[in-house]
Amino acid sequence: MGKMRRRRTFLHRAESFSACVPVGIGKGRGTCRRTGKSFLACAAAVLVLCLACGGLVFAGGPATDAGEPMTLESVGEPLPDGADSALLENPAGRACVIDQAGLLDAEDVALLNEECERLYEAYGVLVAIVTVDDFGGGDILDWQIRVFREDPFGMRAQDGVMLAISMADRDWGIQTFGSAQRAFNTYGRERIGEIVLESLSDGEYYDALDDFVGLCGRFLKEAEKGKPYSSEHPYRKSVPVWIIVAVSFVASFAVSFGIVSVWKKGMNTQVQRIGADEYLKPGSFHLTRSSDIFLYHTVSRSPKPKADSSSSGGGSSGMSSTSSGTSGKF
């Protein structure tokens, strides 16, 4: 588990120099990148770096937000009177990840913190994670707004995205603040929630949070390029490299085998003739009889595949979205 966690977090680092290679969100497979032994990864990273540079040159500078950035005060509904604001203690002073529910060990928290700090430096957006035993009831999105205002993270950020997990009623929520709402629009929050929920529901908390941070990086990068993910520009879940390489190998081998087989066949031009077409006198063929007789017909039927009846709304692991937050149960 320890190795896996290190590897996954290192993957986010790879994103820092990769404009085109998405940060992985799938289950970790492959070799440990921290050891730095994989030549393929290095070669791919170098090549991808070239593509990234080219991409940035052609993409131009960071795009500005299309809409008016929302300030902290303008986010969310007004706080209900007498609402109990949970106090989040953060002994570390400055940290993006506050794990009061104790879902992660110290090493996990450190790795996630490190990646969140990097994203904050790169994009100026706070990617925050908060886990608590019980947030006190009510709407978790409102609670998140209060937490963000209190700024237990010590970052004094105006723009941010926060994933909150409350274990009492298995609530989760993604709330966005300020200009981050552009990168994490309704589509984005739901898409991230959908992916994070897979691990969250299975109790794989580190994987879920690691996925969240990785996805935030991708969404921020895309927004910076002026093309935030949306229903018109959907985020596609990454395919693991080993699958891409394996498929590429099989396809390349098949095509290569076809090419050299044709060449090899061309080395022997002795081919027995099938017919005597060359010796059929031109114009000598004419039909003397032609009849098409219907005999019978058979009808077979097969049931149509049933559409997936599962719904993302409601139930034990659904979600709902407001203008700047998405929440649900896991």
Partner 1 sequence: MDFVEYKCPCCGAALKFSSGAQKLKCDSCGNKYDVEALKEWKEADGNAPEPELHWEFQKEAQGAKRTADGKYICPSCAGEIEVDEDTVSTKCPYCDNVVVIRATASGEFEPDAMIPFQVEAGDARQRLENFCRGKRLLPRDFKNKSYLKNLKGYYVPYWLFDCDARADMSFRATRVHTWSDSEYDYVDTSHYLVHRGGEMEFYHVPVDGSTEMDDRTTESIEPFDYAGLTDFNPAYLAGYETDKYDVDKKTAEVRAKERLYNTAETALRNTVTGYGSVVAQRRQMGTKGGRVSYALLPVWLFETIYDKKKYQFAINGQTGRMVGELPVDKGAYWKYLCGFTALGTAVCSLIGIWLFGGVL
Give the C-alpha separation, 189 to 306, whole Å. Answer: 28
Among 49, 59, 101, 241, binds partner 1 (CB under 8 A): 241
Among the listed residues 51, 53, 202, 234, the single contact to partner 1 using CB under 8 A: 51
Give the pair of three-digit tokens for residue 137: 């009831």
Q: Which of 4, 6, 16, 45 binds partner 1 (CB under 8 A)?
A: 45
> Exactly one of 35, 269, 309, 316 binds partner 1 (CB under 8 A); which one?
269
Asked if 268 interacts with partner 1 (CB under 8 A), we say yes
Angle, helices 106-123/2-15, rounded to nearest 10 degrees:
0
Q: Does 35 bind partner 1 (CB under 8 A)?
A: no
> Quick check: 276 binds partner 1 (CB under 8 A)?
yes
CB of 217 to partner 1, least distance (A): 12
The packing angle between helices 205-224 and 2-15, to 10°, is 0
Interaction of residue 316 with partner 1, rule CB under 8 A: no
d(C-alpha 269, C-alpha 102), whole Å: 74
- Under rule CB under 8 A, residue 57 binds partner 1: no
Task: Tell me which of 5, 9, 22, 192 binds partner 1, using CB under 8 A.
Answer: 22
| Phi, psi torsion values for 154, nearest 5 degrees | 70, 25
Stretch near partner 1 under the rule CB under 8 A, chosen from 41-49, 109-117, 145-153, 200-208: 41-49
> Of the two residues 58 and 313, which places its CB atom closer to partner 1 in the complex?
58
* Smallest gap from residue 167 Cβ to partner 1 (A): 29
Among 29, 34, 94, 227, binds partner 1 (CB under 8 A): 29
User: Please, which residue, 159 or 211, has the CB nearer to partner 1?
Assistant: 211
Pick between residue 53 and residue 251 the one whose CB is nearest to partner 1. Answer: 251
* Alpha carbons 217 and 123: distance in angstroms, whole number: 9
Rounded-to-integer distance, Cα 57 and Cα 222, Å: 15
- How far lies 313's CA from each of 243, 327, 328, 330, in Å? 32, 11, 9, 12
Shortest approach of partner 1 to residue 36 CB, angstroms?
A: 12
* C-alpha gyration radius of the chain: 28
Write down the residue that tokens 């120099």 correspond to: 17
For residues 254-267, one letter each, b for 16 or more C-beta atoms within 10 angstroms of the residue's C-beta and e for the rest, the string is eeeeeeeeeeeeee
Spatial contact of 320 and 327, defined as CB atoms under 8 Å apart: yes
In the bound complex, what is the minimum distance in angstroms from residue 307's beta carbon to partner 1?
11
Tokens for 143?
Answer: 């609670």
Residue 278 lies near partner 1 (rule: CB under 8 A):
yes
Using CB under 8 A as the binding rule, whether residue 295 contacts partner 1 is answered as: yes
Q: According to the binding rule CB under 8 A, does residue 308 interact with partner 1?
A: no
